[in-house]
Amino acid sequence: MRQLAGRVSARAAVWGTLAVLLTWSLAPIAVMVLTSFKKRGDIFAVPARLFPSSWTFDNYQTVLTSSSMPQALLNSVIIGGLVAIATLLFCFSAGYALARFRFRSARPLALFILLGQMVPLTVVLLPVYQIVSSLKLLDTASGVAFAHLAITVPLVTWMVRNQIAAIPYELEEAVQIDGGSRFDAVSYVTLPVCAPGLAAAGMFAFLQSWHEFLFASVMATSTASRTAPVALTQFAGEFDVDWGATMAASVVLTVPIVILFMVMQRYFTAGLTGGAVKG
Amino acid sequence: MAMMPRTRLFLGVVIAAVLTVAGTTAYNIVEGGTRDNTVAWWVPDWDYEKATGLVKEFEQQHPGITVELVQTTGDTVANRTAVALDSGNVPDVITESLARVRGYADKGQLADVHELYGPDMPVKDFAPGLVESLTFDGGTYAVPYRWATNALIYNPRLLAAAGIDAPPRTWADFEQDAKRLTRGKVVGTAWPMQGEPNDLTLRFLDFAISDGTKIVDGAPRFTEESAEAALRLIGGSVDEGWASKSSFELDNTGIRELFLQGRIAMYPAGVFDVDAAIEQGADVATALLPGPDGPGTAQGVGWGYLIPRAAPHQESARQLVRFLARPENMAELTVTFPARTSASAAARFSTPERRPYAEQLAQHSVPAANAPRWTATVQAVHDKIQEVALGRVTPAAGAAQILDLVTR
């Protein structure tokens, strides 16, 4: 009887902890979503209310029809896509070389690449700006994408390197013994096996680009190339913050990513943990 | 050796992707090259629409010059401008906060525009001390176009209900009235302790300046008494309860919304809040900022046009700034007050609610502190005011610590 009571109370403690964690994680999202449906007076009501007293879509109308957010969302999709593709191109090549080729400085080089991840973004902002500027890519989608590569390439190279290192080299050798080239071995064995990992890496790169603010706010100087996180700031004027519109824009900015994550969650989890044991 | 189909596909995709990236880059380089004969003007979102109209007019009057307008936002303009100036890849004209001019000029990044001032644009026509505050090391580094300051906004209905027949003129009146007004759901006043740290330190510095602090070379030179008095007024009011405890969670927008709901009776703020209150039909009136024993002094803040030293089209940029600084164009681009007296003739600048602001600007204001060494301490000073409001530090100790911070 005592054992049963102990088990019940242990379970209750676990559920209680989970409930607290869930509330802790979801409360800001709930506030964001519910505020986006509130009228101005409701947002600053005293005492504060979680639910709107009357629901409105006005904030969404402002975001979708009277702001540059739709254009910015499109820009974010284009830039995120470019970043994901370019990251996979560069990082698969680099990751493959680091995993498969034995050369003297392979390990230091790999560590050096990872060093890029340790440096604060503000430190690399000016050099990256100068490179983008000298390429005449300022205020263009490809310029912002180029800057975002500085964020994604170091970590994704490591992710991909570990994915490839986890694939037995004997599989590639088998293709070559059968008369295939190294490229054939890569395209028939390595790529299909590490495809989930690459999907996760691509998604990771896309996500990094999607929510990045600092580089985008400096590289994109006009509405034509402004990304969604930067466009969010337009609802904060010199004297005024339109919280309803800001929250509605935040919802619009978050929903596509949540959907993408739900669709690709399986790959993402598998990709991030793949190669984690053997490296 | 023949290539297997999937390998061909794989290499084809890789080559196509590389060509796409290279092609996009090449296209942008070519496109960028065609923008050579245009003056680039970075303008904040809130001015963009009116700036578009002015640019059309400018281009008609100057057929050889094309202006490319680039939108910035309030939250991104400082960072973007700093990076552009540091890199040397700059637009020709930037609309920027005057508080940041000295920092850029100290690094030698701005062009001297003193020759723009003259018979068509006399220094005397600008707000008192304004052009002087932008002049240092032998040069003038900006042309201001909008100028504003804080004054006291109050709810006349609430004051009347509390038996107060005139707005406070001194700090003692302010405290006494605020205590009388703090009843039920209404609180005497509130301070913006959330959001931009500068919003709070600006008010603190206004009070300190009213009591003897001076601004020398863009930086405040505090007296311990004035800093303590200002801290007592802001921090002490929260601690004692005649300023809203929710000040810790309020920014400027929050305070205005509570004022519109009739929950805050009076507070120092800019003229934008008055316009918003009138627009919503709220009970609103304005008065000069209270001081220790009469009208207090407020700091003037504003925006102006900068021409970077590395701007590629110096002469065209100057022509554009000269055009924008004409009184009628200056008035067109401001929702507060134009920087030139001759631009303030329009009726919208002299409504009854705006008159105290005009008087505050003309007779009881000084240009805001703008030295980089002061702006670097704003966050720390803000935190110190909060500590006093929380009752963790006495106003006297807080003042001593702020003086230490500023002199360090």
| Residues B369/B209, Cβ–Cβ less than 8 Å | no
CA–chain centroid gap for B307, Å, is: 19
Q: What would the pLDDT profile of B212-243 be if each residue is shown by its tens digit?
A: 999 998 899 999 999 999 999 999 899 899 99
pLDDT of residue A279: 41
pLDDT of residue B269: 94
In this prediction, residues B137-165 reach a mean pLDDT of: 95
- Cα(B408)–Cα(B400) distance, rounded to whole angstroms? 12
Tokens (6 digits) for B234: 């802001």
pLDDT of residue A114: 80
Could you tell me which CATH number the domain at B38-148+301-367 has? 3.40.190.10
CA–chain centroid gap for B217, Å, is: 19
**Domain range annotation of chain B:** 38-148+301-367, 150-300+369-407
List CB contacts (< 8 A) between B86 and chain A: 126
| Residues B201/B381, Cβ–Cβ less than 8 Å | yes
Our CA-based measurement puts residue A233 at a distance from the nearest CA of chain B, in whole angstroms, of 6
Ranges of beta strands (E only) in B10-126 are 38-44, 66-72, 93-97
Beta-carbon contacts of A202 under 8 Å, excluding residues fewer than 6 positions away, are A84, A85, A87, A88
Of B17, B46, B257, the CB nearest to A44: B257
Q: In this structure, how many other beta carbons lie within 10 angstroms of the beta carbon of residue A261? A: 12
- Cα(B141)–Cα(B306) distance, rounded to whole angstroms? 7
Q: In this structure, how many other beta carbons lie within 10 angstroms of the beta carbon of residue A66? A: 9
List CB contacts (< 8 A) between A234 and chain B: 45, 73
pLDDT surpasses 70 at A275: no
List CB contacts (< 8 A) between A243 and chain B: 253
Instruction: Name which of B298, B362, B363 is nearest B125 in CA terms.
Output: B362
Q: Do A181 and B44 touch (CB under 8 A)?
A: no
CA–chain centroid gap for B132, Å, is: 18
Could you tell me which CATH number the domain at B150-300+369-407 has? 3.40.190.10
Q: In this structure, how many other beta carbons lie within 10 angstroms of the beta carbon of residue B78? A: 15
Instruction: Name which of B398, B407, B401, B349 is nearest B376 in CA terms.
Output: B407
Residue of A nearest to B80 (CA): A218
- Cα(A175)–Cα(A180) distance, rounded to whole angstroms? 5
Size of chain A, expressed as the number of residues it contains: 279
pLDDT of residue B37: 74
Q: Do B18 and A222 touch (CB under 8 A)?
A: no
Q: What would the pLDDT profile of B16-63 be if each residue is shown by its tens digit?
A: 888 877 787 777 667 665 556 789 999 998 899 999 999 999 999 999
In this prediction, residues B175-204 reach a mean pLDDT of: 94
Tokens (6 digits) for A131: 């490179």
- Cα(B250)–Cα(A149) distance, rounded to whole angstroms? 38
| Residues A125/A215, Cβ–Cβ less than 8 Å | yes
- Cα(A157)–Cα(A180) distance, rounded to whole angstroms? 26
Q: Do A142 and B32 touch (CB under 8 A)?
A: no
pLDDT surpasses 80 at A2: no
pLDDT of residue B211: 95
Our CA-based measurement puts residue A132 at a distance from the nearest CA of chain B, in whole angstroms, of 10
pLDDT surpasses 90 at A259: no
pLDDT surpasses 50 at B207: yes
Size of chain B, expressed as the number of residues it contains: 408
Of A137, A187, A243, the CB nearest to B6: A187
- Cα(A174)–Cα(A142) distance, rounded to whole angstroms? 40
Residue A201 φ/ψ, nearest 5 degrees:
-65, -40
Q: pLDDT grade, residue A221 (50/70/90)?
A: confident
Our CA-based measurement puts residue B119 at a distance from the nearest CA of chain A, in whole angstroms, of 32
In this prediction, residues A237-251 reach a mean pLDDT of: 88
Instruction: Name which of B304, B362, B342, B330 is nearest B131 in CA terms.
Output: B304
Q: Over the Cα atoms of chain A, what is R_g?
A: 24
pLDDT of residue A278: 45
* Greater model confidence, B11 or B142: B142
Tokens (6 digits) for B142: 């900006």
List CB contacts (< 8 A) between B89 and chain A: 129-130, 133, 138
Q: Do domains B38-148+301-367 and B150-300+369-407 have the same CATH topology?
A: yes
| Residues B152/B289, Cβ–Cβ less than 8 Å | yes
Peptide bond into B295 cis (omega under 30): no
pLDDT of residue B10: 81
- Cα(B406)–Cα(B208) distance, rounded to whole angstroms? 14
Looking at mean pLDDT, say which of A34-48, A77-91, A222-236 comes out highest.
A77-91
What is the average pLDDT score of chain B?
A: 91
| Residues B398/B231, Cβ–Cβ less than 8 Å | yes
| Residues B398/B388, Cβ–Cβ less than 8 Å | yes
Tell me the pTM: 0.82
CA–chain centroid gap for A220, Å, is: 19
Q: Give the largest CA-CA distance in chain A.
A: 77
pLDDT of residue A7: 86
Q: What would the pLDDT profile of B296-338 be if each residue is shown by its tens digit?
A: 999 999 999 999 999 999 999 999 999 999 999 999 998 899 9
pLDDT of residue A81: 92
**Domain range annotation of chain A:** 67-237
Q: pLDDT grade, residue A257 (50/70/90)?
A: confident
List CB contacts (< 8 A) between A214 and chain B: 79
Judged by a CB distance cut-off of 8 A, whether residue A10 touches chain B is no
Residue B154 parent element (H or E): strand B151-154
Q: What would the pLDDT profile of A98-152 be if each residue is shown by its tens digit?
A: 988 888 887 888 888 888 778 888 888 999 999 998 888 888 888 999 999 999 9
Alpha-helix residue ranges (DSSP H) falling in B242-367: 252-260, 271-279, 314-324, 327-332, 355-363
Sheet holding B266-269, edge to edge: B266-269, B151-154, B285-287
Looking at mean pLDDT, say which of A131-135, A261-265, B188-192 comes out highest.
B188-192
Which CATH number is correct for A67-237, 3.10.129.10, 3.40.50.1580, 1.10.3720.10, 3.30.70.270? 1.10.3720.10
pLDDT of residue A271: 60
Residue B214's DSSP bridge partners are B221
Q: What would the pLDDT profile of B312-323 be if each residue is shown by its tens digit?
A: 999 999 999 999
- What is the DSSP pairing of strand B365-367 with strand B298-306? parallel
| Residues B239/B183, Cβ–Cβ less than 8 Å | no
186-215 of A, contacting B, C-beta below 8 A: 186-188, 191, 214
HSE, side-chain direction, 13 A CA sphere, residue B116: 27
| Sole residue written with tokens 């700090």 | B171
- Cα(B264)–Cα(B187) distance, rounded to whole angstroms? 5
- Report the sign of the C-alpha dihedral through residues B21, B24, B26, B29, in that order: negative
End-to-end CA distance of chain B: 74
Q: Which of A45-54, A265-274, B149-158, B161-170 has the lowest mean pLDDT?
A: A265-274
- Considering chain A, what percentage of its residues have pLDDT values greater than 90? 40
| Residues B191/B238, Cβ–Cβ less than 8 Å | yes
Tokens (6 digits) for B29: 């380089």
Residue B312 φ/ψ, nearest 5 degrees:
-70, -25
- Cα(A201)–Cα(A92) distance, rounded to whole angstroms? 10
